[in-house]
Amino acid sequence: MNVMEMLLVAFAIGLTGALAPGPTLVATVNSSLKNGWTSGPKVSIGHAFVEMLIFVLILMGLSGAADAYRVPISLIGGTALMVFGALTLRGASNASISSQGSEISSNPYIAGALTSAANPYFWIWWLSVGSAMLLDGLRGGFLLAAAFMIGHWGADFGWYTLVSTSVDRGKSILSERGYRYVLSACGIFLMIFGLYYLSGVAGSLGW
């Protein structure tokens, strides 16, 4: 991929994760009710802080093993994309953007960091899909790896800001039905991209 392709792919994959119901989305909704539309960007900053630490750890711990373990990591990443896509598609039928839960922290920065670090899905994603994509980016240079992170964060900031602005204005950006359709489309995209990703690995091995 070139830089622009990596940005677009990272944005699309990041958006599928951001859209999925989870503790970070709940934290955004809860904080927005108290602190207004700026809660979305603030929660995203806390979320991005945890991901920046992971990014640095992957660069330090896995970049040297990129060539030796490229194939198994890529296979795990491609398979995980398909699994996450199937789970997203299955959960889309009863997903709700308006669900609220207990408030973890009144500080949106801390809430963004804590809800990310405490979410098992978050770690599974980064240990499979995220690390595989980052290592693929590193094979093309640090710029591609950075482009992956920028595209990924663009999706997070865009979606959570949209949610917080919607809540602050007392309106819904998407109807429940529309939200479920978008989630279904995201699940299908993940599954298709997972197949495409795995086909690229198979092609590099001459299968």
pLDDT, tens digit (0-9, with 9 covering 90-100), for 99-137? 555 555 578 899 889 888 877 778 878 877 788 888 878
Cα gap 134→17, rounded to integer Å = 16
Structure-token pair, residue 58: 């992957």
Cα gap 61→94, rounded to integer Å = 39
DSSP state of 130: I
Query: Over the stretch 149-206, which tens digit does the pLDDT of each residue have?
Result: 999 999 999 999 998 898 887 766 666 777 778 778 877 877 887 787 788 767 666 6
Looking from the CA of 191 toward its CB, the CA atoms found within 13 Å total: 13
- For the cut 70, the answer to whether the pLDDT of residue 140 exceeds it is yes
Higher pLDDT among residues 120 and 80, named by residue: 80
pTM summary value: 0.74
Predicted confidence band at 75 (pLDDT cuts at 50, 70, 90)? confident
- In terms of Cα–Cα distance, which of 124, 132, 148, 96 is closest to 116? 124
Q: How far apart, in Å, are the Cα atoms of 109 and each of 35, 39, 41, 112, 118? A: 12, 8, 9, 5, 14
